[in-house]
Amino acid sequence: MTRPGDDTSFTNDFLVRPDPSDPKLTERVSGIDQDGNPVETSVTVERPLTLFLNGREIVTMMTICDHPDVLAVGYLLNQNMLRSDDEVTAIDYDEEIETVVVRTRRETDYEEKLKKKTLTSGCAQGTVFGDVMEKFETAKLNPDAVLKTSWLYQLTKKINTTPSLYLEAGAIHGCVLCHEDKPLIYMEDVGRHNAVDKIAGYMFLNGISGEDKIFYTTGRLTSEMVIKTVQMGIPILCSRSGFTAWGVELARQVGLTLIGRARGKRFMALAGEQRIEFDIETDQIEDEPKGMNRKGAAAE
């Protein structure tokens, strides 16, 4: 499988963005409201997807299944079942039987890794394998990467106003790969780990480097989010949500810039503060009204 290597030809528009109009991703469901009146609303559709690697069944995931190819590759990368120098020769997705098969040129060592899995936090159960922390501890992030505060404010505004499944139906997490003030790859899924894996898979298959990128997530800044961001080689991780103690500890250990509670003109950095350039006064930024969610509606 070819991997285009042009990492500098980004435009002002997304390379990938949510498609809330896709009829496979939502369903209309009837019910009643708080006053007993009939209502109809959109709900997110989740489906099982069973992943095979070279003929061996690995896992069954619950996903919206909009990008099964990159989700499969990203999952294998973030579980260290694929290495950065592995060549993916084919990805076969069968919608009818809900399976995706990733084939590589050389045999992988996933069987040994399956013996060493540990559980991690997440809205659904995620897994990280025994050698993940060994790889994490030797990771090197770009020390020259910067985050201008004007970029952060522009990114949050663009992302929060982009049509999405969250706006259409809710019950979804979003992750966005960004370059300076431009959001590039916007993925959503019922589990935030799936959304991250989709971006990791897309980056791998298209030869996109993470060293000068920013990663934005709508979810909490947990140890899992920090580990996966570092695995992708991305030096800056941002969220409108909060932190966990271990997430902060790991970010400081590896030198990841960690920014949370990014709402309106406000944010908080708990690791890697040296990368932040304060290039705009906060009085030039409109604050987010209290009790508002990331789409400008009343918080759920």
Confidence (pLDDT) at 106: 85
CATH number of 1-300: 3.40.140.10
In 3D space, the residue among 197, 195, 175, 219 whose CA is nearest the CA of residue 77 turns out to be 197
Number of Cβ atoms within 10 Å of the Cβ of 273: 11
Number of Cβ atoms within 10 Å of the Cβ of 235: 26
Which element (helix H / strand E) includes 91?
A: strand 88-94
Confidence (pLDDT) at 299: 38
Confidence (pLDDT) at 70: 98
In the three-class reduction of DSSP (H, G, I as helix; E, B as strand; rest coil), residue 110 is classed as helix
The contacts of residue 290 (CB under 8 Å, 6+ apart) are none
Determine the Cα–Cα distance for residues 225 and 231; give it in Å rounded to an integer: 10
The label of the residue with tokens 């604050």 reads: 287
Number of Cβ atoms within 10 Å of the Cβ of 268: 11
Q: Where are the domains of the chain?
A: 1-300
pLDDT, mean of each 10-residue run, the chain (300 residues): 40 81 93 94 94 92 96 92 91 96 84 53 46 78 96 93 86 94 96 94 97 95 94 96 96 96 94 97 82 45
Confidence (pLDDT) at 112: 59
Determine the Cα–Cα distance for residues 7 and 206; give it in Å rounded to an integer: 9
- The pTM for the full model equals 0.86
Confidence (pLDDT) at 121: 42
Residue pair 108/160 in contact (Cβ under 8 Å)? The answer is no
In 3D space, the residue among 58, 68, 197, 192 whose CA is nearest the CA of residue 117 turns out to be 58
In the three-class reduction of DSSP (H, G, I as helix; E, B as strand; rest coil), residue 101 is classed as strand
Q: Which amino acid is at 87?
A: E
Please report the sign of the dihedral spanned by the C-alpha atoms of residue 60, residue 61, residue 66, residue 67.
negative
Residue pair 153/265 in contact (Cβ under 8 Å)? The answer is yes
Determine the Cα–Cα distance for residues 54 and 57; give it in Å rounded to an integer: 9
The label of the residue with tokens 């890794």 reads: 113
Confidence (pLDDT) at 91: 98
Determine the Cα–Cα distance for residues 79 and 228; give it in Å rounded to an integer: 9
Residue pair 63/44 in contact (Cβ under 8 Å)? The answer is no
In 3D space, the residue among 186, 276, 144 whose CA is nearest the CA of residue 267 turns out to be 276
Residue pair 231/222 in contact (Cβ under 8 Å)? The answer is no
The contacts of residue 214 (CB under 8 Å, 6+ apart) are 147, 151, 155, 177, 178, 179, 180, 234, 236, 237, 238
DSSP labels for 221-275? B-HHHHHHHHHTT--EEEESS-B-HHHHHHHHHHT-EEEEEEETTEEEEEE-GGG
